[in-house]
Amino acid sequence: MNRAPYAADPAASRGREFPEDRDGTRGPRSEFQRDRDRIIHSIAFRRLRSKTQVFVAPDGDHYRTRLTHSIEVAQIGRVIARELGLDEDLTEALCLGHDIGHPPFGHAGETALEEAMVHAGGYDHNAQGIRMLARLESNYPDHPGLNLTWETLEGLAKHNGPVSAANWALSDIDAAYPLELGQWPSLEAQVAAVADDIAYDNHDIDDGLRAGFLSLDDLMEIDFLADQFRAVEKRFPHISRDKQLRELVRSQIGLMVNDVLEHTRKNIVGLDTVQQVREAGKQLAGFSPDMADRERMLKKFMYQRLYYHPEQLQTAERARDVIARLFVAYQQDPTTMPDDWLERLPDTDPEKSRHIADFIAGMTDRFAIDQCTRIYGRAPQGLSNV
């Protein structure tokens, strides 16, 4: 690996929250490789396979789930990291771990948990991801969570930029292991954030077309997509429309990646250390202003046409109802929880509600529906495909 001076260096890691003594079992991996591998082997990561990205319980096998999305983010993140001389393993760990705190049913589930937790400290998926990885996952003999390095926790907490230290989930971990929450994170974390945008901006077009919620005519309303589609048609006049659309998505990913590389390279000229990255006081890795404008326009379009499509809103309403009803059921009759969760249930709020939110947030879509069906005696309407 050709490491740039501003890259995060696993040999200079600030270490792990809990000292580890595993003589003879360490092998050849760097600290960041080990973090990536711990995430891949975690239960929380495996559960992403049955968590909603955009479509709840889609009929086809080809739609993205949170798991396939995370893998696509990691692919894009690694390409950018390698080109910039950053640590690919740390970038990959952050890309693979960035969505682990999503509850069942994506944003609909998150809205329901935000509402349920309004008097108990709130809920957000980024903070929950840290909580899952640093506290709730319990597969190791000598520490809670995965005991990830400071750099990985920092990157997961702040990949979208500085966050408030008052945040309910981060304050606990930050108190034990300060993450410098008010500063920008490493370039590896900033790359993971922009790779997330590049991945979902484009794969959601692909899935929206697949679902029939978007059409070529819709896409042609966006000038830069129309320009690109005409270029694709010119290059590949004889292939099917379907293949031309796939090529459009592919070329759009390439354009965005190249834009990030060019813009970021300009921003990091003269930087010699990762500490300078953190102290720069601004985002360094990301889209150029032009591409950022286009990307905002694309997101606005996707909200109007796909994410808030009437069918999606109806499904989201049903999914929110499942999460809200589960929360009420566990509050009113905790014996409906499995024994291992019941045994650890605190008596009073806000800890009691937080424990219930932890349980629900870790569920897959399928498990949430099963639990709701078991507790209320019938399957929730319109979600039985899960």
Ligand X SMILES: Nc1nc2c(ncn2[C@H]2C[C@H](O)[C@@H](COP(=O)(O)OP(=O)(O)OP(=O)(O)O)O2)c(=O)[nH]1
Q: In the complex, which residues of this chain contact ligand X (CB under 6 A)? A: 53-54, 98-99, 106-107, 126, 160, 196, 200, 204, 307, 312, 316
SS3 30: coil
Q: Which residues fall within 8 angstroms of residue 348, CB to CB, at 6 or more apart?
A: none
Rounded Cα distance, 256 and 291, in Å: 7
Report the nearest approach of ligand X to the CB of residue 354 (Å): 20
User: Which residue, 80 or 232, has its beta carbon nearer to ligand X?
Assistant: 80
Report the nearest approach of ligand X to the CB of residue 362 (Å): 17
Report the nearest approach of ligand X to the CB of residue 9 (Å): 25
What DSSP assignment string belongs to 247-263? HHHHHHHHHHHHHHHHH
Report the nearest approach of ligand X to the CB of residue 126 (Å): 5
Hey, what are 53's tokens? 């990205």
- Per residue in 31-48, is it b (16+ CB within 10 Å) or e — as a string? bbbbbbbbbeebebbebb
User: Which residue, 33 or 111, has its beta carbon nearer to ligand X?
Assistant: 111
Q: How many CA atoms lie within 13 A of 103 on its CB side?
A: 29
User: Which residue, 54 or 86, has its beta carbon nearer to ligand X?
Assistant: 54
Check the CA dihedral 154-193-312-71 and report its sign: negative
User: Which residue, 260 or 337, has its beta carbon nearer to ligand X?
Assistant: 260
What DSSP assignment string belongs to 292-308? HHHHHHHHHHHIIIIIT
Token look-up 């589609």 returns 229
User: Which residue, 177 or 307, has its beta carbon nearer to ligand X?
Assistant: 307
Report the nearest approach of ligand X to the CB of residue 8 (Å): 19
Nearest-10 crossing angle of helices 88-97, 150-158: 50
- Closest to 247 (Cα-Cα) out of 222, 219, 221: 219
User: Which residue, 86 or 163, has its beta carbon nearer to ligand X?
Assistant: 163
Amino acid at 76: I
Report the nearest approach of ligand X to the CB of residue 219 (Å): 17
User: Which residue, 112 or 232, has its beta carbon nearer to ligand X?
Assistant: 112
Rounded Cα distance, 277 and 371, in Å: 46
User: Which residue, 15 or 161, has its beta carbon nearer to ligand X?
Assistant: 161
- Closest to 216 (Cα-Cα) out of 235, 254, 236, 242: 242
Token look-up 């929450």 returns 181
Report the nearest approach of ligand X to the CB of residue 53 (Å): 5
User: Which residue, 193 or 337, has its beta carbon nearer to ligand X?
Assistant: 193
Report the nearest approach of ligand X to the CB of residue 142 (Å): 31
- Evaluate the omega torsion of the peptide bond into residue 350 and state whether it is cis, within 30 degrees of 0: yes
Report the nearest approach of ligand X to the CB of residue 106 (Å): 5
